[in-house]
Amino acid sequence: MRLTLGDKEEYITIRMQEEEENDNLIYGIHPVKEAILTGKVIDKLLVQTGLKGENATELKRMARKAGVVVKEVPAEKLFRLTPKNHQGFVGFVSPIENGSIEEILPKLIEAGIVPRILILDGITDVRNFGSIVRTAECMGVNAIVLPARNSVPINADVVKTSAGAIFNLPICKEIHFGSTIEFIQSCGVKLVASSEQAKDNIYQTDLTGPIAIIMGDEGEGVHPKTLEKVNHVAKIPMGGKMASLNVAVAAGMILSEVERQQNFK
């Protein structure tokens, strides 16, 4: 069905209102460049597919050098985000500063703190992530680690769903996710992945000492390459007819068991 002029105007008005509510959105070559130069944390930068020109090429180079995840998308997707002149660039500024587990973990160990890390492998739902952050903060998690690519954006919805807990807990978006997991393990931290296919359950698994719990996406679970690196795989025993739990609920149950084993045995 072809849209009338009135329909198009209404659509653009709605998109502009949504944009005003989305205060972490930046667009245009110069605003994005300024954000990078001033050290703002850009969660992700969407670039129009096939975009050429000296300014565009330089901005993409700057973004990648700054560790920004750059993803090429059709022009239609950028228009859905903003009807204004984006010049082929739309970025998302994170409301928090990204942490680095390679800096955080050694400091925890030096301070005599038993590390409790949560690794999220492929979690993309904003509300699930916000809920997980809130639970993790309550359960004494020292840092959350997730891949920079194909991961949940950090935005206002996350802040709201986490009830502000995201400001109290380091979030580490790591570009080299596999190497990061290996680094965590090399520091003497036990890696325990959650999987419905595991033989042992969380109550049969030793969750004491330095530990990193790994949770995967509800559909795909923990990535096979990640599972190859872990020390243990454990499941949550269930007595009902449903085959799986919401990932935020599952994370809460496992972290609660970690807390029980470490402090209330």
pLDDT in tens, 80-105: 888 888 999 999 888 888 899 999 99
Of the candidates 84, 149, 157, 91, the residue with the CA atom closest to the CA atom of residue 123: 149
Domain 21-93 bears CATH identifier 3.30.1330.30? yes
How would you write 37-55 as a 3-class SS string? HCCCCEEEEEEECCCCCHH
* The pLDDT of residue 5 is above 70: no
What distance in Å separates the CA atoms of residue 37 and residue 50, rounded to the nearest whole number?
24
Domain 101-263 bears CATH identifier 3.40.1280.10? yes
Which token pair is 207?
């969750």
What distance in Å separates the CA atoms of residue 218 and residue 237, rounded to the nearest whole number?
16
Could you tell me where in the chain the CATH 3.40.1280.10 domains are found? 101-263
pLDDT digits (tens, 9 = 90+) for 40-64: 888 889 999 998 889 899 999 999 8
Write the DSSP symbol of residue 111.
T
Mean pLDDT calculated for residue range 206-213? 97
- Which pLDDT does position 22 carry in this prediction? 55
Give the full edge-to-edge strand order of the sheet including 171-174.
Answer: 171-174, 143-147, 116-121, 211-216, 190-194, 232-235, 200-201
What distance in Å separates the CA atoms of residue 141 and residue 200, rounded to the nearest whole number?
23
What distance in Å separates the CA atoms of residue 29 and residue 8, rounded to the nearest whole number?
26
Q: Identify the residue with better confidence: 1 or 34.
A: 34
Q: Identify the residue with better confidence: 158 or 135.
A: 135
Could you tell me where in the chain the CATH 3.30.1330.30 domains are found? 21-93
Q: What is the residue-wise DSSP string for 217-229?
A: BTTTBS-HHHHTT
What is the reported pTM?
0.80
- Which pLDDT does position 95 carry in this prediction? 85
Buried b (16+ CB within 10 A) or exposed e, 125-151: bbebbbbbbbbbbebebbbbbbbbeeb
